[in-house]
Amino acid sequence: MRKDAQRHLESAETFLKESEHLFSGGFHNGTVGRAYYAMFHAATAVLLARDIERTSHHAIISAFGESITKPSLLNNKFPNIDITQNSFTTEDSSETSVAADKNTDF
């Protein structure tokens, strides 16, 4: 795996742990923000592993949608999670929509 992809995966894991910690403390706005960055870094790692390099949030989200979501590469692996480009939709910096099956643990 590319070293830059590995660094993004490590960042994703850190942001996810922070999100879980904030969630357990009832800090939901912080939870959502950290979960967004976990998804963002994980998406960046996936793209880098496929030799797709983008720098802006918008470009990464767009490339993820075009090369991963549209071809449905994740739907077979994660059938209980609705992975769409809408997962990255933000209304402001503290609100992110993550569409997940209600049986999926956080």
Domain spans, the chain:
3-96
Q: Considering only residues 53 and 90, tell me which one the structure prediction assigns the higher pLDDT.
A: 53
Q: What integer is the mean pLDDT of 84-89?
A: 58
Over residues 8-29, the pLDDT tens digits come to 999 999 999 999 999 999 999 9
Share above pLDDT 90 across residues of the chain, in percent, rounded to a whole number: 55
CA–CA dist 83, 79 (Å, integer)? 9
The pLDDT score that the predictor gives to residue 103 is 38
Q: What integer is the mean pLDDT of 38-64?
A: 93
The pLDDT score that the predictor gives to residue 31 is 95
Could you tell me if 52 and 63 are in contact, meaning their C-beta atoms sit under 8 angstroms apart? yes
The pLDDT score that the predictor gives to residue 35 is 94
